[in-house]
Amino acid sequence: MQFTKMHGIGNDYIYVDVFNQKVEHPESLAVKIADRHFGVGGDGLILICPPTSQAATQGAHVRMRMFNADGSESEMCGNGVRCVAKYAFDHRLTTANPVRVETGAGVLTLDLWIERGKVNRVTVNMGKPILKPSEIPVKISGVDQVVNFPWRDVLKLNELPPGPDWIKAAGLEDVMTCVSMGNPHLVLFCKKPENIPLDIVGPHIEKHPLFPRRINVHFVKVHQAGEITMRTWERGSGITLACGTGAAAVCVAGVLAEKTNRIVLANLPGGQLALKWNQADDSVYMTGPATEVFSGQWPED
């Protein structure tokens, strides 16, 4: 099986073109091929497929299926979808610009920035944020939006094994905000995200009963109204260098919590993403790089 390793600011996946080959069991393949010691290594597996007939009628050129490193399938990946668009254009699966990609969160439009005949940056219309608790989903009743919602009584982070001292050391605020960008996100603002014991706090929140489909977790420092720094625990993959849908969710959460502007530069461990929550159409636009690293052959089972 031919594969290509790609990344969006360090959020790396193994990409397989299934226009021209078949993948019978992507869930189990994802676990094997994403292993950083015994496989190719990555945050997961992404299949680049022909669009479904319904999506094709909406103008989709390609379809993205994304599998986390634990084999679970997710709806969307902002960094991954930029790489899908780059692969599709650079490898001539389509010559369209913009490219329309079918995802689990719907058909998205991606504008390509071309340099010397290759894609080097992509702007993605990530769509409208979902804020209704039952649609994120998050099991909190009696509110229209989970914005600046007290977390102590529901998440009990102060009772985790590190003890409550890390909360003070990180300057963690006592409220949380939840947003879906086609997949669920929890945003917590703090003064020092580097002091978060992410390997303990991340999995606790991800699998908390409050979130029936699990959740991606982001700890965010606001430098100023137009710039933030964030650390991420991704559902099904763990600590990652970047999360595109997460950065989009943070952009929305910052506005709702009255901490940031609608245009914000997000600093992630792997690099920077430019975000805009556009008031005119209520959609979030994300611009960032897409990089092809190498290609190879994976042995058939």
Catalytic residues: 77, 243
Handedness of CA 58, 59, 63, 64 (dihedral sign): negative
| C-beta atoms surrounding 100 within 10 Å | 20
Checking 237-240 for CB contacts under 8 A at 24+ apart, the result is 237/43, 237/44, 237/68, 237/69, 237/70, 238/69, 238/199, 238/202, 238/203, 239/198, 239/199, 239/202, 240/10, 240/11, 240/43
- Calpha distance 133→194 (Å, rounded): 29
The secondary structure of residue 52, as a DSSP letter, is: P
- Calpha distance 98→175 (Å, rounded): 39
- Calpha distance 13→270 (Å, rounded): 14
**Is residue 257 within 8 Å of 186, Cβ to Cβ?**
no
The secondary structure of residue 130, as a DSSP letter, is: B
**Is residue 145 within 8 Å of 256, Cβ to Cβ?**
yes
**Is residue 244 within 8 Å of 286, Cβ to Cβ?**
yes
